[in-house]
Structure 1
Amino acid sequence: MNKNKKKYKIAILPGDGIGPEVMKEACKILKVLKKKFNLKIKTKKYDIGGIAIDKYGCALPKKTLKGCKKSDAILLGSIGGPKWDYLPSKNRPEISSLLPLRKYFNFFINLRPSILIPELNNLSPLKKKIVKNGFNILCIRELIGGIYFGKPSKEIKKNNKHYAIDTTIYNTYEIKRIAKIAFEEAKNRNYKVTSIDKSNVLKTSKLWRKTVIKVSKKYPKIKLSHIYFDNAVMQIIKNPKKFDVILCPNLIGDVISDECGILTGSIGMLPSASFNENGFGLYEPAGGSAPDIQGKNLANPIAQILSLSMLLKYSLKMNKVSNLINSAIKKTLIKGFRTYDISYGKKFITTKQMGNEIIKSIIQD
């Protein structure tokens, strides 16, 4: 039973493509958990992305933003699809909803766990001898600074030449606060942080490295190492097991988190969390909306369910409930249940069946 009688609200944003399908499975699991632990959690659905454009003419309607503000956390599905490719890039669902949400709520922290259990090492594109015992990497990415948000960002024409300008900018405050998150997370893992930068070339990376070293002085038990971006890309492929917590600036983290993710074999297994210093966060699968399998009951709901797990852990501080979800998923996979994306031509179960099997493991635990 849950001794914490506090009431919580979760904004559910199913999104586009397979988003509503996998979100349905996550909501089924939340319903079971609410009963099992007597959790006082209310959910309410809101439109975002392409479906919101179709209904309201914008990807992030005021009603949705207002609903998010009144909630304790946001559980998001996938956004976008080729249906809206005709729009200018700034108006496409992914750009005109996700970036404003991140900026509005100051979601400067992005966590992307990439976990490969030994039973699924055949899914990884790496050689079996490299991933024999699996790996567990947590990529921590600074999310609202760097080149994606720096100004100026524009195109200009001068002297019969066409130029494009993007600006990379960081200050010590932005670096310190994300570095602290990495060291705090490392305390709950293997006391190792690898900071990735390009300080042999970039001024922002020089400041990044200098500031991370300064923050590390407050965490003497944690081993800090540094590696250049280009070398990191190679070393992660060569031996992912040597990495534990990875700390990255925005652009570098965008690349590294995707690399770590694909090494697990399927983006359908990858959750992500973006939150601010108050613990208010946005939790979503790392993959896309997969319109090619929309409505076919083939999508893997695990990333969405793991995103729910991260929401319960980081925003609602329900570690026990979060751990139960993670354990149930692992048990389900060890039993041999696979969705289409991780079946590799062998027998597979549907989206709905995977949700049901995970629920069985939760109930039996």
Structure 2
Amino acid sequence: MQTKVRDRFRRALGRSNSAGLVLLTVITWSVYAVLGNGFLSSFNLFTLSQVAAGTAVIGLAQLAVVVTGRMNLAVGAIGVGVVMLTGWLMGPVGVPPLVAILIGLVAGGAAGALMAWLELSTGLNSFIVTLAMGSVYTGLMLILSKGVSVSVLPPAVTAFGSRSLLSPYLSFLVIPAVVLAGVLWYLYQRTSVGWKILAVGGNETAARLGGVRTGRMVVVSFAISGVLCGVAAVMEMSRVAAALPSLGTTWLMASFIVPVLGGTPLKGGSVSVGGALLAAVFVESITSGLVSLSVAPYWQSLAVALVLLVAVVADEARRRRQRRRPHVEVSEPVEMEGSHVRATV
């Protein structure tokens, strides 16, 4: 009886990235609580929730493109562009914070949509297009800002990043991260636009033959990614209480770790939004724990890189196992019905 229960538990963990991530996070916290210095303190957990919330949104920005079988290497460039534009509007120009943030998010969405249009127009791979445009966006930001940070921001903006939620252990920044994840989940699971986006990632040719305007779906995905980059940038700006031209330089690796470790395949076609949130918490827990152990920063970077490598290898192994099975359960099959696409959930 115990053997059967144990086998069922193992099979459940094998099928569910989320269950595995929860277990890994619990183990990680337990180890750091014993070995680390103040890992479970209110200050450390508050900081962990702050950083994890931003990392989650960065991962969602990449996820929005990965589901189409593409990638966005300009997440950091768009983020820093939005934060410098928003900081400049709120600081020297004196634009109301909400208006400045909205302008920044629109600019982020436009930057993402432009990359999609260039990819579709030129036929180049998204790797090349986003890599090149990331350099363009970074260059424009440095030219316009002259590399000078904006440190005088409205109190409402800086207070947003330093507020706690219900207790001193949780940052208020968790709310926008969870809300955005909920919006994305609803998009992919309950709307025709989301189903069509997943169809593009699953089989773009079949989706096109089924009547899906694949180009439009790609543009929408990149625009969503750009907006999410902007949101992550504003969250980071409120956390550090300044608009820094160095923001976003470390985003790229985290942006891939979060969706892939969360269960979203790099080849697209399916998505796990909840898994991405859990992956962000797990990854930042590793980094926070290493800090509590006084581990040097370069070892922390190595640990995060190894997590990405393991996530990619595990993703490939999972897809190989699925191809070998005679009957594969697909959680989100996409059915073509004339000129419409419907996802069965």
By the TM > 0.5 criterion, same fold? no
- Name the structure where helix makes up a greater proportion of residues: 2
TM-score by length of 1: 0.28
Q: Larger relative contact order (C-alpha < 8 A, sep ≥ 6)?
A: 2
TM-score by length of 2: 0.29
